[in-house]
Structure 1
């Protein structure tokens, strides 16, 4: 199991770059106000840029601002009497950047559209309206990709995997963790639990460290995690849900389809967790055959070391 921790060795994996955002708002007479937001941190070899319709010339030069870790650009284009419907929008360099782009469109008649562009689908034709099926698929993919790129959350699930002996206790414990983070994710996304993200991220790293310390203790010693694994996983899930909510705030929720987007985002996270646990179950027999000394203890110490590093890194960022 120690080798598996190499997957989490890069600290950046705990915080994937936030999705980029392209907002297009029709204001009448063909004028469209454009807002482009992306991380100020550039991925080497990529130049993430929106490609707007060629027959929509710019009316003004972009006004560029930096706000924290985000770069924003504002300008206007002229799409004539036809407007945006039926036109194609593309985002260049989504592949090298390895991040998604949320496209929000407000048409002149007040209708609002929303799509997610990714490297497998970097362009879209502006439709007259967004379907519920599109919202479900988009947010399911966002949830799935977020959990698989969130090393701190996966490392906690890995700790639960080491904690539980047998499939039934593991399924019960992981399900409790899912229920916990679904509750706080929904509350935070709906505005009922607004907490600053910085301290939450420190506490999430602390939860991973606490689980590693518990796993490192003598198995014969009763601990809260060993005696009550699923209730404790539920409690820690409440904390991790606030972290997921921060990612969802970066993307936003579509007007009129908030329940569907929340549901599919949660489903995506759960599918990602199940896929990760399935990989762990498949690798376990192979790892057990390797001539490694104390592979379980090596994995636990590596897990605790990474969690401690993240705590220090995130805590220092608050100062």
Structure 2
């Protein structure tokens, strides 16, 4: 693994410039508490697998998607995930298969968002396997850091202040949806 690219990966995901990806990870983990950390770890890993696939395909110039379309689709993934959280009937997540689908499929879209950044870093390097692996592992590490912060805050709010878990989910998911919806509107304007 390339340590430089590992560092670039985790620093990129925790950087405020990547707030759309941070917002997706927040929306994805909004329904969980710290005791659910194993489930969330699997979700984050599914997201990493998804974006690793399209990141590699894009860096290798196998797929090319217009960046304006990608920048529109990324907030759409946040909105869909947040709405799914809001309409969920039970307090605790029971059926995780839809969440795994969101994480993996939407990860494919988010990977395209990282591709231009990584392409600029790689330049004309011949061997991209180690840098790509390092960058993806760094992204995974950064996402886990974000998830742990969300889970700790969620646990504190639900367990210490006694806010109902459902109310906290509604607040966090609604906030994510609102921010992402504004991004969708900007994305529509950029497309046309």
Normalising by structure 1, we get a TM-score of 0.52
1:231 maps to what in 2?
101
Higher helix share: 2
Could you say which structure has the larger radius of gyration?
Answer: 1
Q: Which runs of no fewer than 5 residues in structure 2 stay unpaired?
A: none
CA shift, 1:187, in A, is 0.8
2:114 maps to what in 1?
244
- Aligned partner of residue 65 in structure 2, secondary structure: coil
For the 8 Å contact 1:206–1:307, the answer to whether it is kept is yes
Higher strand share: 1
Q: Deviations over 1:99-139 (max 9, x none)?
A: xxxxxxxxxxxxxxxxxxxxxxxxxxxxxxxxxx8xx2322
Map residues 110-259 of structure 1 onto 2, 5 A cutoff.
136-149=2-15, 150-164=18-32, 166-220=36-90, 227-253=97-123, 255-259=125-129
CA shift, 1:306, in A, is 0.3
2:161 maps to what in 1?
290
For the 8 Å contact 2:51–2:107, the answer to whether it is kept is yes
CA shift, 1:152, in A, is 1.1
CA RMSD of aligned residues (A): 2.2
Normalising by structure 2, we get a TM-score of 0.84
CA shift, 1:259, in A, is 1.3
Number of aligned positions between the proteins: 181
After the TM superposition, list the runs of 4 or more consecutive aligned residues in structure 1 that deviate by more than 4 angstroms: none
